[in-house]
Amino acid sequence: MSTPENIHTEFHRMLGREAKEAQLKQRGHVFWFYGLSGSGKSTLANALERKLVERGFVTKILDGDNIRSRLNRDLGFSDEDRWENIRRISEVARLFLDSGHVVFTSFITPKRELRELASDIVGSADFTPVYVKADFETCAKRDVKGLYAKAAAGGVKHFTGKDSSFEEPEAGSVDWVIDTDRQSEAESLQALLDQVLPLIQSDSQA
């Protein structure tokens, strides 16, 4: 992306990410939780954050509904608006990453191209996609937000899994898969902890 005319960035004069990570005694990283509504993304992100904070890590959760209620309240759920939603939040995640934070996002992110967009903006070395897997029927039974019932009655347009498709990760992808159809919340949380900690621990913690 080109820099607009008459914009002169100050990145080169700012204190770098390495200094922030040294101060926080951790490695920054973005863990991008994606999956159908009701699959357990936000539940796991919140539980994982609490476990990490107990261990002294500095974290930030970027939740889809929270972001759409404020920063992205002007966006709908068309393909174009979903793209812009992910673009904006990826830039926000990158800002927190640059300050040394461990970042968890919780966005449906239904298309592979959207996940690739997020990875490109954040940087693939600092970006781990986490597919929180649960099938449509399971999520409809949970229906924690009442959206599935509303969608069935025709009250939600572009509903992912019904009117709008969801693309699972391709075979052989680097995406982590947390199957909440088959695992309890405690089992899913432990699996995440085991994989997350090696990526965010500083050399002094390892």
For the chain, which residues make up each domain, given as ranges? Answer: 16-196
> Of 69-73, 96-100, 108-112, 152-156, which gets the smallest average pLDDT?
152-156
Q: pLDDT-derived band of residue 5, with 50, 70 and 90 as boundaries?
A: confident
Q: What letters, b where the CB count within 10 A reaches 16 and e where it falls short, cover 33-54?
A: bbbbbbbbbbbbbebbbebbee
pLDDT of res. 139: 80
Q: What is the pLDDT of residues 63-102, one digit of tens each?
A: 988 999 999 999 988 889 999 999 999 999 999 999 999 9
What is the pLDDT averaged over residues 33-43?
92
Max mean pLDDT among 11-20, 95-104, 146-155 falls in: 95-104
pLDDT of 147 over the 70 cut: no
Contact in structure between 132 and 35 (CB atoms under 8 Å): yes
What value does the mean pLDDT of the chain take? 89
Residues 173, 190: Cα–Cα separation, whole Å: 22
For 73-129, the DSSP string reads TT--SSHHHHHHHHHHHHHHHHHHHHTT-EEEEE----SHHHHHHHHHHH-GGGEEE
Q: pTM of the entire structure?
A: 0.87
Distance, CA of 188 to CA of 186 (rounded, Å): 5
d(C-alpha 118, C-alpha 98), whole Å: 15
For position 107, what pLDDT does the model report? 93
- Any long-range contacts for 189-196 (C-beta under 8 Å, 24+ apart)? 189/44, 189/47, 189/48, 189/51, 192/44, 192/48, 192/130, 193/48, 193/51, 196/29, 196/31, 196/48, 196/52, 196/102
CATH number 3.40.50.300 given to 16-196: yes
Please enumerate in sequence order all residues whose Cβ is within 8 A of that of 204, keeping only pairs 6 or more positions apart, or say none.
25
